[in-house]
Amino acid sequence: MTLAVRVIPCLDVDAGRVVKGINFKELRDAGDPVELAATYDKEGADELTFLDISASHEGRATTLEIVTRTAEQVFIPLTVGGGIRSVDDVDRMLRAGADKIAVNTAAIDRPELIAEIADRFGNQVLVLSVDARRAPGTDSGFEVTTHGGRKSAGLDAIEWAARAVELGAGEILLNAMDADGTEDGFDIDLIKAVRSEVTVPVIASGGAGRADHFPPAVDAGADAVLAATIFHFGKVRIGEVKQALSGAGAPVR
């Protein structure tokens, strides 16, 4: 049986508000996370991803409170990321109502964290978020970045995704930094490159601008498609994305 392609709105949260920019700069306010989450749930989103993009210590308590309030409002799986550095952090977020946890920088700094989380909670809880950009000098042509795409992590993006899966990551959230917020379409080459190396689900993120941008990402090997800007500012509705996917022959819920 072919699994339905999941459509996932992403809430980038900074100081308790949803924000969105282009290539992680020039952030605009997009609303209240709890209200937006409830709206997307009603509109037929399959999951929600919630990323605390500042994830500073003063923001952590805010995040827990928002996660708790969001989890009370929505009845679809909720993934939370940003500032997750330990098994205890994961435990706190799961208790607050998260279903899955996304790790990024902390896993780059200490890859054993992936195994520790997977061993304690199961790999179905763990999403590795990979911020990848084109880098001609690497084996695959893509490198991992940190700090919102501004710094190179010195890792080949495709090799890192494969290694993380070996360590226990249950899913890859693949953020195409070159495409982020541009609304020019997903990075198809990047999706294909990761798909060829990992067996776990791949979530394509970065670049969606129109409903017809989504089917090519699925054709390239994405199991789920994620977007932020076009949903937050009402350019494209979740139902339109599902129609486009269904029309292209992809199974949707």
Phi then psi for residue 155, to 5 deg, are -125, 140
Buried b (16+ CB within 10 A) or exposed e, 105-122: bbbbeeeebbbbbbeebe
Whole-angstrom Cα distance, residue 5 to residue 236? Answer: 17
Catalytic residue among 41, 46, 89, 131: 131
- 189 in catalytic set: no
What stretches of 110-249 show up as alpha helix (H) in DSSP? Answer: 112-121, 157-167, 188-195, 214-219, 229-232, 238-247
Helices (H) and strands (E) in the chain, counts: 10, 12
- 14 in catalytic set: no
Which residues share a beta bridge with 129?
A: 173
Which residues belong to the active site?
12, 131
